[in-house]
Structure 1
Amino acid sequence: MIEARYKWERPVVADEAAAQILTTELQLEPVIAKVLVNRGYDTLAKANEFLNPSPEQINDPWLLHDMDKAVARINEAIMNGERITVYGDYDTDGLTSTALMYETLEMVGADVNYYVPNRFNDGYGPNVEAYERLIGEGTQLIVTVDNGVAGHAAIARAKELGVDVVVTDHHELPETLPDAYAIVHPRHPEGTYPFGELSGVGVAFKVATALLEEIPQEMLDLVALGEIADLVDLVGENRTLVTYGLKMIEQTQRPGLLALMDVAGVQKDAVTATTVGFSLAPRLNALGRLGDAGTGVELLTTQDEEVATELAKKIDTLNIERQALVASIGDAAMAQAMQPENLERQTLVITGAGWHEGVLGIVASRVVEETGKPTLVLREEDGILKGSGRSVPAFNLFTALDAHRELFVAFGGHAAAAGMSVAVEQLSALQTAFEAEALQQDLADAEKPALKIATLMTPSDVTPTLYRQLQSLGPFGNGNTEPLFVFEPATLSNVKAIGAEGKHLKFALSGENQPNLNAIAFGRGSLANDLVANDQGVQVVGSIEENVWKGNTSFQLMVKDILQEGLTIVDGRTNKLQPQLFTEVAQYVFFNPKVKTQLLAYLPEGSHVVDVTAGDVLTDGQLTVLVDLPKQLDDLSVLQGHTFSRLTAIFYAAHQVYLEKNPSKEEFGKLYKYALTHTDLPIRAQTETIAKYLNIDKNRLYFMITVFFELGFVTIDDGNLNGVANPPHAELTTAPSYQARIQKQAVEKALIYSKTTELKTLLHQWIDQA
């Protein structure tokens, strides 16, 4: 069984008639029309407006609160020759905002420079010391981009020093706003701007439009970068800005952006929101995480191709370093998450010494994704644990930690993410409080996060026409997610784990008399064995992607979730036990105590050992491995009524007898005659000699002697064997050892020499017995 990570929400089209109208009038595939209707674009007018973004959908910048004051103050500074400093932020939205505002002010003749704060020295947003230093160096007007609404202290200090601050920002507004000269914000409480979801670069773009008195189309490439990277809702004005921004990237002549795309291996005529989000933005974000983010602004604004190339290479190298840090710290964090004490917890507090602070949020996100548990990842230095937390939709991280502020040196954040510092001696208290909050918020009983499904499809439904129309629904992101489809294939084929350490999963969906559809599931390589063992009853959710390889175009499914109902039984039968068979933390079931003793040292820490002969009880819901062969089939009754997340059958037997012929009466006769004619045979010393003389395998000879001894046909005293001249009458097959051999052969036939399908059927029968 493979349990879905999400709760699949399969929609019912609210208005079939509306969908039919869109299908007919706009010549859409029915599934595309249904997606539009389900997302609220249920009339021709709404659908046309959505499918065809136009400049008319870009709002008037003068509608923003304080835009008139901001532009007037900036123009005044330009007229008076005042030094203007653009104060930005260190993520991609902040870097593009800074670059856009800097270029705009240069275009209108300002004496302008920029300052990007350091994540580790300055922190986020306006910093008092940084403001004082800039003012001391000659700054006479500060214009913030992508920050400022929470910068009360620094803005107040600038005012004391006679310097105005114009804030342009989009972040959550505090109850009391700072005493800035102007605050340009799309959700300002006194404003009436019709669209409140602009990112920092979106707000900067509106200021640029007002200053230039026209839309600066050549800067839309920066807008697309920043808006996509900041994960704003790609609806309304944002969708229009990003749509045109992506088109501008396709024809950009910006040296820095061209160089960045080159090192990232991105073709500018194939840039999508996905390539921006997964290839370009992470490289710019790496600057702020590991070094001086100002390099990003320099890259985006330089007109020198050689400088751009060198900066892009430097940024790419830094991104490779970031990836290596995330991989190494992430592996260490996951190892902690898999420790027995953490497996029992609903929340995780992961700690390590020497970890780079700049990537801890990424690592926390990875742990949350792989475990489904709210996670704090903290680095230890000088007695302080400092780091980041990430959560799941069902658990409010801010509420949980805010209730225990006394534990923290510093703390801030929101429902899904937080940053914090805590003294090392408070670690145990923090773990206890974090776990208690999981109980308080009923995390264990919370529903899985929802996954909205567009419709059920088959591989043959995926056509070039469908894919082309799907792309017309983009660009995709928050608020306008890529449509997801359910596939219920008849079978899976070519299932394999791929990538470094087999972390990813690749397979093909096969329908009845339908072409195969390749599928990729990142981070799900561990499911490969399960799917190879049982490819029936599988359902897959994913999005459709075009794949171009060596000039050939095909489509593939980017898997979001997998579901398989019923128990997966893995045929792991072998006649040789090796350490690699015991790498998973699991429930290991032994029918022979000697085998258990031999293997205990090889089982991973945290594994549950079940000795059937000792009456141990199995635990439900576990990965379970049947290690050795039971003495009789009835021993499998230990499986009755239990549930398993996966059941692997190894059924190792040190010596197998099924393929050995049972001794014939003639062979028994030869041995009996030999025993009668030889007195006081030292059986141990003479076994090989006797076996060779009688032409009987040594193991068979031992068995035959045991049968004779049990029936009274021979005696054994002090290791010497003698025949009994007038033994009691008895059938050879009635000897206990003969009965045991017959029973072992039957068990081996059923559990070792059966076909995989027969074995699975037998195990299912034992499990399902009432």
Structure 2
Amino acid sequence: MIQSKKQWKINTLDEAVVATLQNGLGLSTMAAKILAARGFTTVEAAKEWLHMDDSAMHDPFLLHGMDDAVFRIEQALEEGEKILVYTDYDADGVTSASVMLSVLYDLGADVIFKIPNRFKHGYGPHIDLFQEAYDEGVRLIITVDNGISAVDQVRFAKDLGMDIIITDHHEPGDVLPEADVILHPRVPANSYPFGELAGVGVAFKLAHALYGEVPAHLFEYVAVGTVADLVPLEGENRYFVKRGLEALRISHKPWVAALCDVSSQEKSQIDEDTIGFLFGPRINAVGRLGEARPAVELLMSDDAAQAAMLAKKLNDANVERKDLVQTITEEAVAMIEGDEALRNSLVLVVAAPNWNPGVVGIVASRLVEEYYKPTIVLCIDEEKGTAKGSARSIEGYHLYNELAKNRDIVPHFGGHPMAAGMTLPKENVEELRRRLHMQAVDCLTDEQLQQKLRVDIPLTLEEITVEAIEDIAKLGPFGMHFAKPIYALENMQIASMKKIGATQNHLKLEITDGVQSIEAVSFNNGHLADELTQGVSVSFVGDVSINEWQGRKKPQFKVEDVQTTEWQLFDIRGIRQPSRWLQQVPVADVQFVAFSEETVRYYASIVEQPIYVVAEQYDNILTNGYIVLLDLPQNVQILQALLSTKKPSRIYAHFFVQDSQYFNGMPSREQFAWFFKLLKQNPQLNWREHFPKISTQFGVPQEILKFMTKVFFELKFVRIDKGLISVEPTTQKSALTDAPAYKERQARMELEQLLLYAPYAELKDWLTATMQ
């Protein structure tokens, strides 16, 4: 048995809907299943989704305040006023700034930009930077991707005599800043047809209004910012990303080529994953570690050499960011594992000095993935006496509301149900941990603490073809509210399997349904090679892709998780060196079982765990755990009683015997007769002296000679005195099979045949029947 990492919830699709979509749209069953899983039930609705055009975009002047914003900016252009574009340090902010700077440069504006430093200024508008801009002659501020909550900062700018236009998409508070104009898709509520624009989307709408036409050359920026900011990929956002990805694949802009180069990405193959996993993290990295200005400079650069240099700077920062995340995660895990109270808490709160606040949100996400509990990661500032950090939650635990119950000890926090940021006095950290745990006891159930994986597309191997996988690309882009599908292959078998990679930490395998097969890989799951056995019914979840090698394309399954409910037999019979099989045996949930004290003594210095001796008593053996059967039992009934009672989920069958009797076999009646005649002809035969000679002369193993002698002795055919064997002058007629030694050898040979020398399939069938 292998328990999946997460609790799978496999979707059941309406086959009639799948058939309708497949036939009506001319798609593969895989693509049709994806649409059905995403809620499409009619061909018309699916066509509208798949074939978007410019009509998906709304008139930018539908945004409340757009007329006033355009008027004020055009006024600044006419009068030569200096304009500040004030942005955020993440990818959405960087691309928003790039959009706004592009249109203002094109219109001939005198424009500069500023980005707050995460560590010095924090998020959003800062009065020091506004004062700095005023001193530099700025009279109009345009915020992008921030500003909707900057009530005090806007008042400060207005008091200085500057005008301010806020463009933002974040959640507005109860009190709005007194800016000259606010461009926000949800302010006033329901005033704009699509309320889910990213910050870069709002900036694009303003650029559209200023140009007087759709600025198609800016779609690349909008795609990057929209995907990176994880806004829903529907409506205008979906159209922006579709157009942006098309533009990125043929772009001649230096920044696109430079980012492709440092991330080893083929430009023609750019997709939403490229943005989410390659471009976005690099753009974000500089802002996480320090100044985000180089990211804007890269996206605005017209010089290939400068773009290459800046892309390298972003890439270096991303490498450093990864190292920081890894280090802090390892330290946090060690902290959790080393503290029983913390480890058992339903909400994890970890804090330490010198942790980088720019990456703790990523660390919190890693810890949620590892432990599946709401998690807060805090950086202690000893000088200020504060703890500042980020939190990530799980379904069922409304992070913002739970933090709000602790305003008395967490004076500064913000966020939403699944993520939050906060600053609190460092002496309140332990109390916060205690309170949040108690709150979680009241609102989280055991079911909610089990991580779930929604598997929406069950597949058969027959459906997975190169053409079908290529068909799926037509459905993209995938993202929030149109998630990339997770596929399931149920009740499969493993045809072959091996560890790969420099450290053998990955897995390559062939999955089969008995008729067809598919190649598969599983990254960072090399250990499964020691946990899966061939012939077991296994289910897999993961992704599909095309593996291209030397011009040949083949479908491939990328395994993310595995489960099997069957018990597994690991055949380690005949492996004499313990070092060769002990490494396959897990340390946890396993018990080593022997049937003789001699075996215990033999393995005592080799096996670190205790070895349990089973004779007639086996109450000390685990139920439903893993069992290593070190040797053969005295009889089959003992093993049957053990397994039928305990039903282990894994059996490691070693069945070591020092001297196997199976291959010497049972002497024939002719051999017994020959040996008895030999004993008659040689009275007073000294077995110690003569057995080696007889063995050599006649080719009969000494072990067989000794065995036949014992049978004769037990039947009183011979007597043995001081090593001398003599045939009794008179004997009662008895069958050889009546001798206890004969019966014991016969039973031992049958036991060895059943357990030690039977083919794998026969042994497993017998063990399965025994446990049932």
TM range (shorter): 0.7 to 0.9
What does 1:37-116 correspond to in 2, within 5 Å?
A: 39-116=38-115
User: SS where residue 765 of structure 1 aligns?
Assistant: helix
Task: Give the conservation status (yes or no) of the 8 Å contact 2:285–2:317.
Answer: yes
Question: Is the alpha carbon distance of 1:14 and 1:583 closer, same or farther for their aligned partners in structure 2, counting shifts above 3 Å?
Answer: closer
Question: Is the alpha carbon distance of 1:312 and 1:733 closer, same or farther for their aligned partners in structure 2, counting shifts above 3 Å?
Answer: farther
**2:234 is the counterpart of 1:230:** no
1:761 counterpart residue number: 765
Greater shift, 260-269 or 2-11, is seen at 2-11
CA-to-partner distance for each residue in 1:556-599, whole Å, 9 max, x for gaps? 23445444332233334433222634554332233367877887
Shift of 1:701: 11
CA distance in 2, matches of 1:404, 1:737: 79
**2:201 is the counterpart of 1:205:** no
User: SS where residue 546 of structure 2 aligns?
Assistant: strand
What does 1:152-163 correspond to in 2, within 5 Å?
A: 152-163=151-162
Shift of 1:108: 1.9
Amino acid at match of 1:482: K
User: SS where residue 140 of structure 1 aligns?
Assistant: strand
CA-to-partner distance for each residue in 1:159-201, whole Å, 9 max, x for gaps? 3333333221112222322333322111123451111111111
The percentage of aligned residue pairs carrying the same residue is: 34
Task: Give the conservation status (yes or no) of the 8 Å contact 1:577–1:652.
Answer: no
Task: Give the conservation status (yes or no) of the 8 Å contact 2:83–2:142.
Answer: yes
TM (norm. structure 2) is 0.82
Question: Is the alpha carbon distance of 1:75 and 1:757 closer, same or farther for their aligned partners in structure 2, counting shifts above 3 Å?
Answer: same
1:174 counterpart residue number: 173
User: SS where residue 444 of structure 1 aligns?
Assistant: coil
CA distance in 2, matches of 1:380, 1:705: 83
Greater shift, 726-735 or 159-168, is seen at 726-735
**2:584 is the counterpart of 1:587:** no
Task: Give the conservation status (yes or no) of the 8 Å contact 2:95–2:224.
Answer: yes
Shift of 1:677: 9.7
User: SS where residue 651 of structure 1 aligns?
Assistant: strand
Question: Is the alpha carbon distance of 1:709 and 1:478 closer, same or farther for their aligned partners in structure 2, counting shifts above 3 Å?
Answer: farther
1:655 counterpart residue number: 658
Shift of 1:40: 4.8
1:444 counterpart residue number: 446
CA-to-partner distance for each residue in 1:286-318, whole Å, 9 max, x for gaps? 222233221111100011111011111222222
Shift of 1:743: 6.6
User: SS where residue 359 of structure 2 aligns?
Assistant: helix
1:471 counterpart residue number: 473
1:482 counterpart residue number: 484
CA-to-partner distance for each residue in 1:610-645, whole Å, 9 max, x for gaps? 67578554555655555565554444434445565x
Question: Is the alpha carbon distance of 1:242 and 1:521 closer, same or farther for their aligned partners in structure 2, counting shifts above 3 Å?
Answer: same
Shift of 1:274: 1.6
Task: Give the conservation status (yes or no) of the 8 Å contact 2:664–2:704.
Answer: no
Greater shift, 221-230 or 326-335, is seen at 326-335
2:416 counterpart residue number: 414
Task: Give the conservation status (yes or no) of the 8 Å contact 2:628–2:654.
Answer: no
Amino acid at match of 1:8: K
1:243 counterpart residue number: 242
2:126 counterpart residue number: 127
CA distance in 2, matches of 1:358, 1:344: 27
Amino acid at match of 2:236: E
2:756 counterpart residue number: 752
Question: Is the alpha carbon distance of 1:540 and 1:722 closer, same or farther for their aligned partners in structure 2, counting shifts above 3 Å?
Answer: closer
CA-to-partner distance for each residue in 1:348-394, whole Å, 9 max, x for gaps? 55666755443333333334334444444456664876544333334
Question: Is the alpha carbon distance of 1:265 and 1:184 closer, same or farther for their aligned partners in structure 2, counting shifts above 3 Å?
Answer: same
Amino acid at match of 2:531: D
Shift of 1:725: 11
Shift of 1:439: 3.3
What does 1:520-599 correspond to in 2, within 5 Å?
A: 520-531=521-532, 533-573=533-573, 574-578=575-579, 580-582=583-585, 584-591=587-594
Question: Is the alpha carbon distance of 1:639 and 1:90 closer, same or farther for their aligned partners in structure 2, counting shifts above 3 Å?
Answer: farther
1:684 counterpart residue number: none
Task: Give the conservation status (yes or no) of the 8 Å contact 2:591–2:622.
Answer: no
Question: Is the alpha carbon distance of 1:580 and 1:350 closer, same or farther for their aligned partners in structure 2, counting shifts above 3 Å?
Answer: farther
Greater shift, 746-755 or 163-172, is seen at 746-755
Question: Is the alpha carbon distance of 1:370 and 1:677 closer, same or farther for their aligned partners in structure 2, counting shifts above 3 Å?
Answer: same
Question: Is the alpha carbon distance of 1:294 and 1:491 closer, same or farther for their aligned partners in structure 2, counting shifts above 3 Å?
Answer: same
CA distance in 2, matches of 1:667, 1:410: 97
Task: Give the conservation status (yes or no) of the 8 Å contact 1:65–1:190.
Answer: no
Identify unmatched segments of 5+ residues in structure 1. 682-686
Task: Give the conservation status (yes or no) of the 8 Å contact 2:719–2:727.
Answer: no
CA distance in 1, matches of 2:376, 2:175: 30
Match of 1:393 among 378, 395, 400: 395
Question: Is the alpha carbon distance of 1:377 and 1:600 closer, same or farther for their aligned partners in structure 2, counting shifts above 3 Å?
Answer: farther
Shift of 1:228: 1.0
User: SS where residue 566 of structure 1 aligns?
Assistant: coil
Question: Is the alpha carbon distance of 1:763 and 1:106 closer, same or farther for their aligned partners in structure 2, counting shifts above 3 Å?
Answer: same
CA distance in 2, matches of 1:482, 1:572: 41
Question: Is the alpha carbon distance of 1:458 and 1:191 closer, same or farther for their aligned partners in structure 2, counting shifts above 3 Å?
Answer: same
CA distance in 2, matches of 1:550, 1:633: 55
CA distance in 2, matches of 1:669, 1:329: 83
CA distance in 2, matches of 1:347, 1:710: 72
CA distance in 2, matches of 1:90, 1:391: 23
CA distance in 2, matches of 1:589, 1:488: 32
1:458 counterpart residue number: 461
CA-to-partner distance for each residue in 1:692-713, whole Å, 9 max, x for gaps? 7897999999999999999999
What does 1:229-628 correspond to in 2, within 5 Å?
A: 229-330=228-329, 341=340, 348-349=348-349, 355-378=355-378, 382=382, 387-404=389-406, 411-420=413-422, 432-446=434-448, 449=452, 451-464=454-467, 466-488=468-490, 491-499=493-501, 501-511=503-513, 513-514=515-516, 516-531=517-532, 533-573=533-573, 574-578=575-579, 580-582=583-585, 584-591=587-594, 617-619=620-622, 622=625, 625-626=628-629
TM (norm. structure 1) is 0.82
CA distance in 2, matches of 1:7, 1:225: 32
Shift of 1:226: 0.9
- Report the structure number with the largest CA radius of gyration: 2
User: SS where residue 49 of structure 2 aligns?
Assistant: helix
CA distance in 2, matches of 1:568, 1:704: 41
Question: Is the alpha carbon distance of 1:758 and 1:221 closer, same or farther for their aligned partners in structure 2, counting shifts above 3 Å?
Answer: same
User: SS where residue 472 of structure 1 aligns?
Assistant: helix
Question: Is the alpha carbon distance of 1:257 and 1:581 closer, same or farther for their aligned partners in structure 2, counting shifts above 3 Å?
Answer: same
CA-to-partner distance for each residue in 1:668-710, whole Å, 9 max, x for gaps? 9999x999999xx9xxxxx9x9997897999999999999999
Shift of 1:55: 1.0
Question: Is the alpha carbon distance of 1:162 and 1:528 closer, same or farther for their aligned partners in structure 2, counting shifts above 3 Å?
Answer: farther
CA-to-partner distance for each residue in 1:229-272, whole Å, 9 max, x for gaps? 11211111111111111111122222112111122122222111
Task: Give the conservation status (yes or no) of the 8 Å contact 2:373–2:394.
Answer: yes
Task: Give the conservation status (yes or no) of the 8 Å contact 1:714–1:722.
Answer: no
CA-to-partner distance for each residue in 1:459-483, whole Å, 9 max, x for gaps? 355252x334322211111111234
Task: Give the conservation status (yes or no) of the 8 Å contact 1:546–1:553.
Answer: yes
CA distance in 2, matches of 1:609, 1:372: 35
